[in-house]
Structures are given as structure tokens and as C-alpha cells.
Amino acid sequence: MENEETYLFTSPHYLWFIWPLMGWGIGIFFHGMATFIFLGRRFSEIKDRMIEKEIKRESRNEWKR
């Protein structure tokens, strides 16, 4: 841990951690695009199907409570 702190305080002109953060941000951006834009049209269908599946699963397991 001391090495990273020493590096940051002695050489602040090159902040290397910006590059992984940018890569992570790009990944999150494309994941959001895929989720909310490309699946947006079918999202309500998928949501309804998942709700029905959960209702069926809960009704089967009701006697176990």
C-alpha cells in the first residue's frame, strides 16, 4: 500500500488510474445501451414473463411455508 501512496504523491503528473476508470466507464455505458435501448422494445414482454414465472414458482412453494 505504501508504494501506491508514494507513487501518487511523488509523481502526480501521470495519473495512471484514469485509464482503467475510462475502460470501466465505457463498459458500463455499453451495458446500459444494451439493456435500456436495444432491449427496450422487448423489455415489457420479458418483465411480464419473469413476473408470471415468479408467481408460478411462489404458488408451488406456498405449501412449504
How far is 26 from 33, CA to CA, in rounded Å? 11
Residue 37 CA to residue 58 CA, distance in Å, equals 31
Q: Is the pTM of this model over 0.85?
A: no
The domain limits of the chain are: 41-65
Question: What CA–CA distance (Å, rounded) separates 55 from 49?
Answer: 10
Question: Which pLDDT tens digits describe the chain residue by residue (65 residues)?
Answer: 566 666 666 666 777 778 899 999 999 999 988 887 777 667 778 888 889 999 998 888 766 65
Measured CA distances, 21 to 8, 16, 18, 30 (Å): 16, 9, 5, 14
Q: What is the pLDDT of residue 48?
A: 87
